[in-house]
Structure 1
Amino acid sequence: MSADRAALEAALDRGEEEGGNVEFKERLSREVHLADGRLESLAAQLRHRILSGDGTAMYVIGVTDDGGIAGISADAFSESMDVLSVLAEEAGAHIEDVETWGVGTETERGRVGVATLNEGSMLNVDDDHIVVGTAGHVDHGKSTLVGSLVTGTADDGQGQTRGFLDVQPHEVERGLSADLSYAVYGFTDTDTVHMDNPHRKSDRARVVEESDRLVSFVDTVGHEPWLRTTIRGLVGQRLDYGLLVVAADDGPTKTTREHLGILLAMELPTVVAITKVDMVDTDRVAEVERAVERLLRDVGRTPFLIERHGVAAAVDELSDSVVPILRTSAVTMTGLDELDSMFESLPKTTNHDRDDFRMYIDRTYSVTGVGAVASGTVGSGSVEAGDELQIGPMPDGSFRDVEVRSIEMHYHRVDRAEAGRIVGIALKGVDEEDIERGMALLPAENDPTAVRSFEAEIMVLNHPTRIRDGYEPVVHLQTASEAVIFHPDEGQLLPGDTGTATVEFKFRQYLVEEGQRFVFREGQSKGVGTVTDVTTHIDLSD
């Protein structure tokens, strides 16, 4: 067998022994193995294997009783994992990891896998948790600062800690982030819980498990061509705070102002970190600090210098109108202790004014043996493994019934996810290619209606002339980015105006709800809006 089948080879070599922790199963089916009496005996067998392995068991699926490679279909393997999850729950255990391999010929392919099960139920994450979105100009050190924060490691001056967040080869090569990145660290009552190596899934899972308070970062993109991605990160996630970075060797730029405008438009309490203070003298740092203060005052905000007033006062004063400023360096670690203290103390700000579950989908992928996975931030309510949900809208406006197979948070399997958690949800009943960014997950008993148009209150922040009927910007609403057509109620909107308009999606329907805020852009034109009514529909038959 090849090296990548080491886990399978090891399990087969050990074999099924009376006092061992390895169990062979060709397949598991609901009809046979969850029948009355059978479930209890199989759960008892699983408990025995776990006790024999000092808390860990290995189930090899797709092999015969004597360890021969049989291989089963993808659907049969998926059903086997569902049944094994039920058995694990009955036995007071959980599936920690699954590895799979293809077997057979080109014409008759099968699947075999090794599931690792651990004693104890899946982690129930009930800790305090805030989500912070970063923003700022390219090369101003967003990812480097976050990398040093979550690892507790000083940067080498060449962006080494940034590499913990850049995951695509071209990002690493160019030193420029091209998509949203996620990172996490946490706190206990007595210590900071850092990641040793953020590239290891197990390390992120360890942080989630050990921390009493978690801080998740949504690290956005500073390069102008990817502004759409930045807006998606700041608008589509349930953020508690914004962290705007301004490099001391450059100062505020056009992108800085643009990103600040988005943060403030979303009414997000924001902290400004002046980065790279090790690269310039103190006079230059003070000059940039004054420039940031002027920028904040220009948009009606009150700057608050942490160096002068302290962290405790900054935590108390931070609000929609007061913006703390501090000096930082990822190389010398200047200011990072203060950021730690702030993030450990800041309260959660997002209001979850509804009890039922909502999650707008930001990313999708497929995991062998698991199926389609939808990831995003839980907007409201909670979700558990086994919940019946619906996903949509599909292109025709319909919603499809799905079931939650499992939930992961920063690569740690959890049994429940509350509002504000960034999670991946494995779904049964839908293929990955049928899921699109901008769709939503919600309870099966809900009766959602997809809309092609909605009423909104619009504020025009910038436009070269005036917005007339038929204006076509791109709207960023939740995780959707879609071309729309504006129909101002008064026929037009001028720069600086606030007015009402009907907003019509050009290509498809979405789930839109009253009170949702959005950003719109088209060239140098931009503005913000709030959904006021979703019952008004445009006649699209003309």
Structure 2
Amino acid sequence: RTRGSRCLQTNLKLIDPTQYRFEHLATQMKWRLQEGRGEAVYQIGVDDNGMLVGLSEDDLRSSLKTLGRMAEKVGADITILREREVDHDADIPRKIAEVLIRKVPDDQQFLDLRVAVLGNVDSGKSTLLGVLTQGELDNGRGRARLNLFRHLHEIQTGRTSSISFEILGFNSKGEVVNYSESRTAEEICESASKMITFIDLAGHHKYLKTTIFGLTSYCPDFAMLVVSANTGIAGTTREHLGLAMALKVPIFIVVSKVDLCKRDTVERTVRQLERILKQPGCNKVPLVVSTADDAVTAAQQFAQSSSITPIFTVSSVSGESLNLLKVFFNIIPPLSNSKEQEELMQQLTEFQVDEIYTVPDVGTVVGGTLYSGICREGEQLVVGPTDSGQFLKLTVCSIQRNRSACRVLRAGQAATLALDTFDRSLLRKGMVMVSPEMNPTICWLFEAEIVLLFHAKTFHKGFQVTVHVGNIRQTATVKAVHGKVSPPPYHNLSVWRNPAVTDRTFYEVLLHGIPKLRYFFNTKT
């Protein structure tokens, strides 16, 4: 059975199967792993109709042994997520087991999930990521976050102003792979079967445009909202929560710094979060995680329903409940299954440019996300639009994912592409690299339906806004408001670019293989 994106297989028992039966079960497991993009969950002791029958201790161990043989045959490992007793009135205790099967993907195509990290300034976002990825607890003064900062002023102020990336890996046995045992990102990628890429975003309100760019451009699978236990919901917390919900990014919450305050204060902050999540505008179901069993349940239900919002209470200094957060990251499945991934890969190539570098002895390098198609070394693409509205030819010389060489890039994956001697001055953020067969065109005018989240004044014709569409951030002017549509407060707008702005004055419209675009109008700017 497939729930959400995770393949779930129920088996009553797997005791001493015949050779023919064993081959059939191994083939079934291989198909389940393929459907789940390298992951599947097996429930032992559960009937096909979902009834919790349970097995005796001996039968359960025999079934798990058979399951291990099946996994070994298909090149996978098993991890027992949890065991529990059922039918307590029986004379012989009966148990069920939930097992995670994970396969090492071929050709370094490990499962990669992107998590955007949101939260108010000084809520402990960068410190939490430093502890998770470095494997060492913080000293209470922010030592763990130093490796995440990219600029001197960030180190001096302790506040993130740019977008940075950190990785946390899990091997096929579900064990954490981070910088505590691996010196480089290449070693982490080689050892990991599943990779969590954290997108560390700014919390201060003056860097809100950077945060919005990170949410719209990098297409995170999930969002982690970090709330400080001692300050509660303050500053940009509500705004970041609203952004994630407006962009329909599944969100979970981490209450940090629980070591700084009493238990009553932590519980008050959690109750405050529960009240906000249950409000009509959110309609979420909060799920407080306090045990490993809760973490497994939260990961499964979070993937199945967009209304479930897990809440963790952790400390980066004492390490309280950090293991529960790691269990959650280890189990959480991708949003898309293999069928949806195959459909995207069959479309024409579209790579959106987010970052541009000049690397010695390599040349011009661009970083971004492949939205559709497949990109290979040596592939011929066109990039644009330029200031004159043209698309220029280029060749992809080499590809790297998480600083490791990669020959093939598939839809949904983020990477950096080396373009050799291509002139960097012709490139800018917001451009796209597409297949020449796509025949891309540009436009000056587009229509959009918007939700007015907050605005202190009247929203009217001639109003100037900043439009965030994917990796494009562009000033624009409202040319016409066509009126409200049901349900309010949706509006149908025609938006025109600002003729006074000479940089980034074009919007590309890709007529083939276009993914779902997300629009956000920053009406405060």
- Of the candidates 221, 224, 232, which is equivalent to residue 205 of structure 2? 224
CA distance in 2, matches of 1:427, 1:327: 45
State the 1:492 CA deviation. 7.6
Residue deviations 1:321-348 (CA, integer Å, cap 9, x gap): 2211010111112222111111111111
8 Å contact from structure 1 (residues 466, 495) kept in 2: no
Q: Pick closer, same or farther for the CA change 1:289–1:478 going to 2, 3 Å.
A: same
Residue type of the alignment partner of 2:506 = Q
State the 1:362 CA deviation. 1.1
CA distance in 2, matches of 1:402, 1:471: 38
- Match of 2:411? 419
State the 1:311 CA deviation. 1.0
8 Å contact from structure 1 (residues 466, 492) kept in 2: no
1:119-518 to 2 correspondences below 5 Å: 124-190=107-173, 191-196=175-180, 203-298=184-279, 299-307=282-290, 310-318=294-302, 319-349=305-335, 354=344, 355-428=347-420, 430-490=422-482, 497-506=489-498, 507=501, 508-512=505-509, 515-518=516-519
Task: Tell me the secondary structure at the aligned position of residue 215 of structure 1.
Answer: strand
Residue type of the alignment partner of 1:518 = Y
State the 1:192 CA deviation. 1.2
8 Å contact from structure 1 (residues 240, 269) kept in 2: yes
* Length-normalised TM-score, structure 1: 0.70
CA distance in 1, matches of 2:207, 2:486: 27
State the 1:360 CA deviation. 1.4
Q: CA RMSD in A?
A: 2.2
8 Å contact from structure 2 (residues 150, 162) kept in 1: no
8 Å contact from structure 1 (residues 135, 221) kept in 2: yes
Q: Which one is further off, 400-409 or 494-503?
A: 494-503
Residue deviations 1:74-122 (CA, integer Å, cap 9, x gap): xxxxxxxxxxxxxxxxxxxxxxxxxxxxxxxxxxxxxxxxxxxxxxxxx
State the 1:274 CA deviation. 0.2
State the 1:290 CA deviation. 0.6
State the 1:487 CA deviation. 3.1
State the 1:357 CA deviation. 2.1
CA distance in 2, matches of 1:493, 1:435: 39
8 Å contact from structure 2 (residues 440, 509) kept in 1: no
CA distance in 2, matches of 1:366, 1:345: 38
CA distance in 2, matches of 1:312, 1:187: 16
Q: Which one is further off, 202-211 or 180-189?
A: 202-211
8 Å contact from structure 2 (residues 455, 523) kept in 1: no
Q: Pick closer, same or farther for the CA change 1:165–1:512 going to 2, 3 Å.
A: farther
Residue deviations 1:24-70 (CA, integer Å, cap 9, x gap): xxxxxxxxxxxxxxxxxxxxxxxxxxxxxxxxxxxxxxxxxxxxxxx
Residue type of the alignment partner of 2:374 = S
8 Å contact from structure 1 (residues 244, 270) kept in 2: yes
State the 1:441 CA deviation. 1.3
CA distance in 2, matches of 1:440, 1:264: 26
- Match of 1:13? none
8 Å contact from structure 1 (residues 360, 439) kept in 2: yes
State the 1:434 CA deviation. 1.7
State the 1:438 CA deviation. 0.7
State the 1:125 CA deviation. 2.3
8 Å contact from structure 1 (residues 463, 494) kept in 2: no
CA distance in 2, matches of 1:148, 1:445: 46
8 Å contact from structure 2 (residues 217, 354) kept in 1: yes
Residue type of the alignment partner of 2:215 = L
Residue type of the alignment partner of 2:364 = A
8 Å contact from structure 1 (residues 460, 498) kept in 2: yes
Residue type of the alignment partner of 1:511 = E
8 Å contact from structure 2 (residues 483, 492) kept in 1: no
Q: Pick closer, same or farther for the CA change 1:197–1:357 going to 2, 3 Å.
A: farther
Residue deviations 1:433-468 (CA, integer Å, cap 9, x gap): 221111111123220112222121111111224321
State the 1:282 CA deviation. 0.5
State the 1:239 CA deviation. 1.0
Residue type of the alignment partner of 2:349 = F
Q: Pick closer, same or farther for the CA change 1:397–1:327 going to 2, 3 Å.
A: same
Residue type of the alignment partner of 2:308 = V
CA distance in 1, matches of 2:369, 2:149: 20
Q: Pick closer, same or farther for the CA change 1:149–1:263 going to 2, 3 Å.
A: same
Give the count of matched residue pairs: 399
State the 1:154 CA deviation. 0.8
Task: Tell me the secondary structure at the aligned position of residue 464 of structure 2.
Answer: coil
* Length-normalised TM-score, structure 2: 0.72
Task: Tell me the secondary structure at the aligned position of residue 128 of structure 2.
Answer: helix
- Match of 1:521? 522
CA distance in 2, matches of 1:495, 1:163: 47
